[in-house]
């Protein structure tokens, strides 16, 4: 961690600009991004994995408990929130999409506002803040994955809030900021353990850099705040320690890789995929150059430098944790982007100072913004033929037509959610069917392996069967089990059991 014991004696607040016309212009430009982002969230945003988060929320709204009543290998805070949103506003994928998009926008604005307030070159504050907001919000992974029902949006907002509150907490004697920062870090980790590394980084930094009040009191306050979002996990652990331990810890260490046999090769491909990303090649080198400039070339105060270093530590901690996930995926790294963008604007300033007039940041910002927009446009174009919720809505409508009310349905998570039919026990999460556990343990954990699932399908317990896998259709013999079937959008729906 950076040394923070020696800090400029002048109060940091003296360097903070008033939020005037320039700040309103910043909000105005970012509001255009926000509108486009919300439109995308409500029309085209989709990833298959979000469906099991939606099914989990559906089950919670129906009175089921994660871990105890169904398998859900995630920390559950976001699922509880999604269940609450949908109880208030209706069971639709658009409801959690709206909230996750708003959370993401909030995180982008918090980071842009931070740079506007803290960037030490007055004429560059608006440009640096705008670049931070666009580099974060227009990142291709951020734009396409943050607004889905997975917890990326809430994690981004919670991490940004924890970062901002931690900065203020070092100069306050009271323990409220420490408690609030711990709470925000807990919200992020309670929604996704991919963000867990941020908590110790923020805590250690705040304690080392503390300039007012008792470190021990702030440590205790932080821990209390951090624990609050984990109350659901603690409660579930009290009720079912074996089930909770399996879902939160054991599944990730021993079973996630079952669907990716070449996990190491897969991870290496993901970790080197930034080579093919124009946005990654822009943001990463700028951030590295920015850190070099801050450490060796700039005359910025230590107080400002330490905050930029904190962003680097957060990006490093999160990046290492995500990189060690086995397997890992490119979209996980969107959690790193906000904290990489902050030193990147310092790198842009340093590079522009050599190429352009220091006091005129227009051209470098326009060049970077154009590259970000083009990178996002290319990513959206490449995904133009990917699945969307409209596809599954058509399939779900047909499934509803051929399935009697209250009849048992063999399907996958998107169809269960859209038809508002609770999945039979063990079918809540497609990825668990490759787990082969002893019968008693499998029943306790609500897991059905592939052999048992095949026997269930062939026993006639399902009035309707749905599958998009030709391999599964042939293996289960669905065409021989059902009298009628229809093929729609590369998927098949079977009904009318042959008695």
Maximum pairwise Cα distance, the chain: 85
Task: With cut-offs at 50, 70 and 90, classify the pLDDT of residue 385.
Answer: confident
**Selected residue with higher pLDDT from 61 and 271:** 61
Average pLDDT rounded to a whole number, residues 277-285: 88
Q: CA–CA distance from 322 to each of 49, 191, 193 (Å)?
A: 17, 15, 10
* pLDDT over 80 (residue 177): yes
2, pLDDT greater than 50: no
pLDDT for the residue numbered 489: 86
Torsion of CA 406, 408, 411, 415, to 10 degrees: 0
Query: Are 349 and 395 contained in the same domain?
Result: no
Q: Are residues 83 and 184 in the same domain?
A: yes
Is 2 within the bounds of a domain? no
Say if residue 1's pLDDT is above 80.
no
Boundary (domain end) residue, out of 350, 382, 414:
382
Residue 6 forms part of a structural domain: no
- Residue that finishes a domain, picked among 347, 382, 417: 382
**Residue range 214-259, pLDDT digits in tens:** 889 999 999 999 999 999 999 999 999 999 999 999 998 888 877 7
Indicate the number of domains in the chain. Answer: 2
The answer on pLDDT for 5 being more than 80 is no
354 and 487 housed in the same domain:
no
Q: What is the mean pLDDT of residues 21-47?
A: 94
Q: Are residues 451 and 485 in the same domain?
A: yes
In a domain, 317, yes or no: yes
Is pLDDT at 83 greater than 60 in this prediction? yes
Q: Examine the domain organization and report whether 377 and 395 are in the same domain.
A: no
Within 8 A by CB and 6+ apart from 197, the residues are 317, 318, 320, 321
- Are residues 107 and 180 part of one domain? yes
Cα(372)–Cα(135) distance, integer angstroms: 7
The answer as to whether 149 is a domain residue is: yes
- Tens-place pLDDT, residues 388-401: 999 999 999 999 99
Q: Are residues 444 and 246 in contact, defined by beta-carbon separation less than 8 angstroms?
A: no
Residues 222 and 201: beta-carbon distance below 8 Å: no
Residue 12 pLDDT more than 50? Answer: no
CA-CA distances (angstroms) from residue 95 to 54, 65, 89, 99?
10, 21, 7, 7
- Does a structural domain hold residue 3? no
pLDDT band at 11 (very low <50, low <70, confident <90, very high): very low
Q: Which two tokens stand for residue 100?
A: 């996750």
pLDDT bucket at 274, cuts 50 / 70 / 90:
confident
Q: How many helices (H) and strands (E) does the chain have?
A: 24, 4
What confidence tens digit (pLDDT) does each residue in 416-446 have?
Answer: 999 999 999 999 998 888 888 999 999 999 9
Last residue of a domain, one of 361, 382, 403: 382
Mean pLDDT of the chain: 90
Residues 6 or more apart in contact with residue 369 via CB below 8 angstroms: 130, 131, 134
Pair (400, 374) in one structural domain: no
Are the CB atoms for 156 and 331 separated by under 8 Å?
no
Domain contains 136: yes
Top-confidence range, 5-9, 361-365, 408-412 = 408-412
Domain, as residue range, for 239: 12-382
Q: What is the pLDDT of residue 358?
A: 58
C-alpha distances in angstroms, 92 versus 75, 77, 430, 453? 22, 19, 21, 28
Residues 6+ apart with CB under 8 A from 425: 70, 446, 448
HEC assignment per residue over 285-340: HHHHHHHHHHHHHCCCCHHHHHHHHHHHHHHHHHHHHHHHCCCCCHHHHHHCHHHH
**Contact in structure between 224 and 216 (CB atoms under 8 Å):** no
Q: Residue 27 is encoded by which pair of tokens? A: 């909000």
Say whether both 320 and 442 belong to one domain. Answer: no
Contact status, residue 109 vs residue 163, Cβ threshold 8 Å: no
pLDDT at 13: 41
Per-residue pLDDT tens digits for 439-476: 999 999 999 999 999 999 999 999 999 999 899 999 99
How many angstroms separate the CA atoms of 337 and 283, rounded?
9
Using CA atoms of 281, 154, 178, 315 in order, give the dihedral in degrees to the nearest 10.
-10
160 and 133 in a single domain? The answer is yes
Clarify whether residues 398 and 374 are in a common domain. Answer: no
Contact 346, 307 (CB under 8 A): no
**What is the structure's pLDDT at 386?**
85
pLDDT for the residue 8: 35
pTM above threshold 0.95: no
pLDDT digits (tens, 9 = 90+) for 143-160: 999 999 999 999 999 999
Shared-domain flag, residues 137 and 94:
yes
Tokens 């889905």 belong to which residue?
A: 148
Angstrom distance (rounded) from CA 202 to CA 97: 29
Same domain? For 316 and 342 the reply is yes
Q: How far apart are CA 467 and CA 489, in angstroms?
A: 11
Q: How confident is the model at residue 17 (pLDDT cuts 50, 70, 90)?
A: low
Q: What's the rounded Cα separation, in Å, for the pair 173 and 171?
A: 7
Band (352; pLDDT cuts 50, 70, 90): confident
User: What is the predicted pLDDT for the residue at 18?
Assistant: 62
């Amino acid at each position: 961690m950076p040394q923070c014991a020696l800090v400029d004696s002048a109060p940091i607040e003296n360097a903070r600009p008033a939020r005037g016309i320039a700040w309103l212009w910043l909000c105005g430009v970012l509001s255009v991004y926000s509108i486009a982002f919300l439109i995308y969230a409500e029309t085209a945003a989709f990833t298959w994995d979000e469906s099991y988060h939606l099914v989990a929320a559906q089950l919670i709204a129906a009175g089921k408990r994660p871990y105890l009543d169904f398998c859900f290998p995630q920390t559950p805070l976001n699922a509880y929130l999604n269940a609450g949103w949908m109880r208030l506003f209706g069971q639709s994928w658009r409801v959690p999409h709206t909230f996750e998009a708003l959370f993401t926008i909030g995180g982008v604005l918090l980071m842009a506002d931070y740079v506007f307030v803290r960037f030490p070159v007055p004429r560059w504050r608006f440009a640096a803040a705008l670049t931070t907001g666009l580099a974060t919000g227009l990142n291709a992974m951020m734009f396409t994955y943050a607004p889905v029902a997975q917890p990326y949006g809430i994690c981004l907002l919670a991490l940004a809030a924890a970062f901002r509150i931690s900065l203020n907490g070092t100069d306050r004697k009271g323990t409220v900021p420490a408690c609030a920062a711990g709470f925000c870090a807990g919200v992020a980790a309670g929604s996704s353990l991919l963000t867990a590394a941020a908590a110790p980084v923020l805590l250690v930094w705040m304690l080392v850099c503390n300039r007012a009040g008792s470190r021990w009191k702030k440590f205790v306050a932080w821990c209390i705040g951090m624990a609050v979002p984990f109350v659901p996990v603690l409660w579930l652990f009290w009720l079912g320690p074996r089930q909770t331990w399996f879902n939160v810890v054991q599944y990730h260490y021993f079973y996630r890789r079952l669907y990716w046999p070449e996990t190491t090769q897969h991870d290496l491909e993901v970790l080197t995929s930034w080579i093919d990303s124009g946005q990654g090649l822009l943001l990463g080198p700028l951030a590295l150059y920015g850190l070099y400039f801050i450490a060796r070339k700039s005359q910025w105060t230590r107080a400002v430098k330490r905050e930029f270093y904190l962003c680097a530590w957060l990006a490093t901690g999160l990046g290492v944790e995500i990189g060690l996930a086995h397997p890992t995926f490119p979209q996980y790294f969107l959690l790193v982007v906000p904290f990489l963008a902050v030193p990147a604007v310092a790198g842009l300033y340093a590079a522009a100072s050599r190429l352009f007039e220091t006091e005129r940041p227009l051209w470098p910002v326009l060049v970077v913004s154009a590259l970000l927009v083009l990178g996002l446009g290319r990513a959206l174009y490449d995904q133009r033929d990917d699945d969307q919720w409209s596809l599954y809505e058509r399939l779900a409508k047909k499934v509803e037509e051929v399935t009697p009310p209250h009849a048992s349905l063999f399907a996958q998570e998107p169809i269960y959610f859209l038809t508002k039919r609770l999945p039979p026990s063990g079918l809540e999460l497609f990825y668990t069917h490759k787990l082969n556990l002893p019968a008693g343990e499998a029943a306790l954990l609500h897991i059905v392996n592939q052999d048992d699932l095949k026997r269930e399908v062939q026993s006639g317990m399902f009035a309707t069967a749905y599958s998009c896998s030709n391999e599964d259709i042939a293996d289960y013999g669905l065409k021989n089990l059902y009298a009628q079937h229809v093929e729609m959008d590369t998927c098949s729906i079977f009904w009318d059991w042959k008695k």
